[in-house]
Amino acid sequence: MPVIAVVDYEMGNLHSVCKGLEKAGATPNITYSSKELEQADAVILPGVGAFDPAVKHLRARGLEQPIKDAIASGKPFLGICLGLQILFESSAEGTQPGLGIVPGKVRRFIPEPEIAIPHMGWNQLQVTQPKSILWEHLPSDPWVYFVHSYYVDPIDPQIRAATVTHGTQTVTAAIAYENLMAVQFHPEKSSNIGLQILSNFVAQVREKIAA
């Protein structure tokens, strides 16, 4: 089975992600070892919490460069929730610089009378990259589970794999280009749809190993 490193920086929903990966037929390895990230077949960067503590913890554990190296190596990489946001250059939530792997910023939802912030619960994706491996074997515009007050705003709109609408605001819900994928929602909390997304990621890892 493919070995997938799940990055441990004290900010992730690690065990739920690992259970999903195991069901998808992979061997998860919770780690903050740069060597184990390098040796893994793929990497997942989960995340729950605030932007500044997250990037501080990553840097304190010496994980910034290993994450950049993993993505540059071409191995499949999946960011989840906060693990999507910290790939960007900066966030309205804090003052720390992000990893700067994806050009763009993290912005906060604009308050509206009829919406709650954080955006929490089930919502429907509008898929913008229908051929992305993320969405294989899924119904069109599937429902997934969100918990967030901030969203990513990439400079290049072509990397958006899906959007979501909250109130009158339509924002990026997933990005995908080359070997890098990241989602704002929680696949590990999104029932069968989320399990299928994790299975799709594992399938890509298998294809990479076999190539």
Catalytic sites, residue numbers: 81, 186, 188
Question: What are the Cα distances from residue 97, in Å, to 53, 63, 107?
Answer: 11, 14, 14
Give me the phi and psi of 208, to 5 degrees please: -65, -40
Please report the DSSP string for 63-117 in residue order: -HHHHHHHHHTT--EEEETHHHHTTEEEETT-SS----SEEEEEEEPPP-TT--S
Helix axes 14-23, 191-210, angle to 10 degrees: 70
